[in-house]
Each structure stands twice: as structure tokens, then as C-alpha cells.
Amino acid sequence: MKRSQIAPVFKREFLGYFRSPVAYVFLVVFLVASVSLGFFVGQFFKANLASLERYFVFYPWLFLFLIPAAGMRLWSEEKRSGTIELLFTLPITTVSAVLGKFLAAWLFLTLAILLSFPMAITVGYLGSPDWGVVAASYLGSILMAGAYLGVCSLMSALTKSQVISFVLSVLACFVLLCLGWNVFSGLLTSVLPVPVADALANFSFITHFDPFTKGIVDLKDVVFFLSLTGFTLFLNVAALEK
């Protein structure tokens, strides 16, 4: 794993988004969908609060569909078109290739998230929000996007079909999401002993994302997202090397 090997893969992948209409379509859909959810479902204006909590609260649900859409092609496309053979007969290690592609996609998602900045400007103009909370929400969103993307990258490495990759990613992310969704975790508590249900809820995106939207940056949440990302990327390398 050398930086000199990761950089070219990273650069090609990142610019690759912008060489096709994919990037622009994705950015527009992401922003329209996230803002619509915040306004129409989250009652952003009616709430009359100088806070972005009602905007960010929908991110775990939005990510459930949009990140698999962005990540499904990562490895499936290389497998289908045969370029994986080209990539892995170049002098780079599997770890470098996985990291290069992952980081490029993560940066792209980060860009999409940060492009929602007019929302922050709006609350800043209309009221005086707690900027620490806003910053924490952005940090949490970016970390959570990495974890979602790790799952999607792994699923994408398992198949050459982008459709299968998308469906598997949504399913896997849905499970990780539901464990902490109060409707579902309420159900779990009624079936399983409370400590077990609590332990399962600990593996959820929502459980670890919520504190960020309230301005709490807890080390254990940061570690959760980073270790989930690391673990899925480790499996990703193993899946490609098998």
C-alpha cells in the first residue's frame, strides 16, 4: 500500500464521475431529494427553529437509496467490462486499488453533502443557529456516508451486475439502519431480552448518527462509523483476492 499507487486510482475514479452525466444527475437528485424531505416532510419552516436538525434527520433514509446508487458501479462495472483484469495486472496491490476507489467515491459524496450549504446559509440568515451543531451534523453525515459506502463497495465487489449490487447494498444498509429505528427496535425489545436488543441497536446507523445532529460528537460514534468502514473495506479486499 503506497500513496503513489493510491493517487492515480483515486484521481481516475473521481474524475470519472464527471466524465459522464452520472455525477451531475446524482448531485441534483441528492440536493432536490434532501431539501424536499426537509421542507415537506420535516416541516422545516413551520418548525420555526434556527436549526438544521429537521434537514439532517432524513439523511439515514436518503443515504439508504442514494449511496447504493453511487457505489453500485465501483467494482461491478470493472468486472462487467473486464477492466478489472487491466487494473489488477498493473503494478498495484488490491488494498491500494480498493482504497483509491473508495476514497474517490467518498470525496464525491462529501462534495454532495457540502453542496447543501445554502440550507445552512438560510438558517444563518433567518436566525442565529448554533454553528457547532451544524458542523457536527456535517461531520456525522460525512462519516456515516463513508460507512454506507463501505457496505456498498463490498456488495459491488461480489457481483458483476450493478442491479444485484444495488439491491444487495440497499438490503444490507436497511438492516443496519433498522436495528436502531425506534419502530423496529421496539419490536425487537418485545421479542428479545432487553440487553440483546440494546446490543443490536448499537449496530445501527441511526443510533450513532442522532447524537451528531444534536451537536454531540462522541468518540464512540466516530469510532463506530470508521470501524464499520474499515471492516467492510477489509472484506472488500478479501472478496477481490479470493
Partner 1 sequence: MIEVKGLVKNFGSKRAVDGVSLTVRKGDILGFLGPNGAGKSTTMKMITGFLRPDAGSACVDGIDVAVDPVGVKCRVGYLPENAPAYPEMTVEEFLGFIAEVRGYRGAEHRARVDRAVGLTHLGPVRKQTLETLSKGYKQRVGFAQALLHDPPTLVLDEPTDGLDPNQKNEVRTLIKSMASEKAVILSTHILEEVEAICNRVIIISRGRVVVDETPAELQARQPSARLDEIFRSLTQTDQ
Residues that bind partner 1 (CB under 8 A): 4-5, 7-9, 11-12, 16, 19-20, 81-83, 85-86, 88-93
The CA-atom distances, in angstroms, between 187 and each of 53, 64, 192 are 26, 21, 9
Angle between helices 205-213 and 59-71 (to 10 degrees): 120
Could you give the CA distance from residue 115 to residue 191 in angstroms, rounded to a whole number?
A: 42
CB of 8 to partner 1, least distance (A): 4
Q: Which residue has the cell 446490543?
A: 199
- Closer CB to partner 1, 15 or 163, in the complex: 15
CB of 4 to partner 1, least distance (A): 6
- Closer CB to partner 1, 52 or 105, in the complex: 105
Nearest Cα neighbor of 201 from 226, 232, 223, 177 is: 177
- Closer CB to partner 1, 85 or 218, in the complex: 85
CB of 177 to partner 1, least distance (A): 32
CB of 117 to partner 1, least distance (A): 29
Length of the chain: 242
- Closer CB to partner 1, 77 or 198, in the complex: 77
Could you give the CA distance from residue 222 to residue 37 in angstroms, rounded to a whole number?
A: 26
